[in-house]
Amino acid sequence: MNKESFEKSLEQLESIVKHLESGELPLEEAVKKYEEGIKLSKHCQSLLKDAENVLTKMMKDNEEKDFELPKDDQ
């Protein structure tokens, strides 16, 4: 999961939420989906924090720069 893009992870998280909200999952499966959702949520939060750090550094440098995020090996 660490290599997943923010958008893909968010899409998966939204799908999990819909399944959980449906109330149709057996308890054991619901717990597993919940755990998976927590992991995806933390992954998304980490990616957002990384992006925020990049933007904050760019703003503090007070220079115009091309915006580039580190590229993942996908």
DSSP string, 20-49: HHHT-S-HHHHHHHHHHHHHHHHHHHHHHH
pTM: 0.72
Both ends of the chain: CA-CA distance in Å?
12
Residue 61 has a CB neighbour count (10 Å cut-off) of: 9
Structural fold of domain 6-60: Helix Hairpins (1.10.287)
Q: Return per-residue pLDDT of the chain as tens, 74 residues.
A: 557 899 999 999 999 999 999 999 999 999 999 999 999 999 999 999 999 888 887 777 666 556 666 665 44
Q: Could you tell me how many helices (H) and strands (E) the chain has, helices first? A: 2, 0
Query: Helix, strand, coil: what percent of the chain each, to 5?
Result: 70, 0, 30
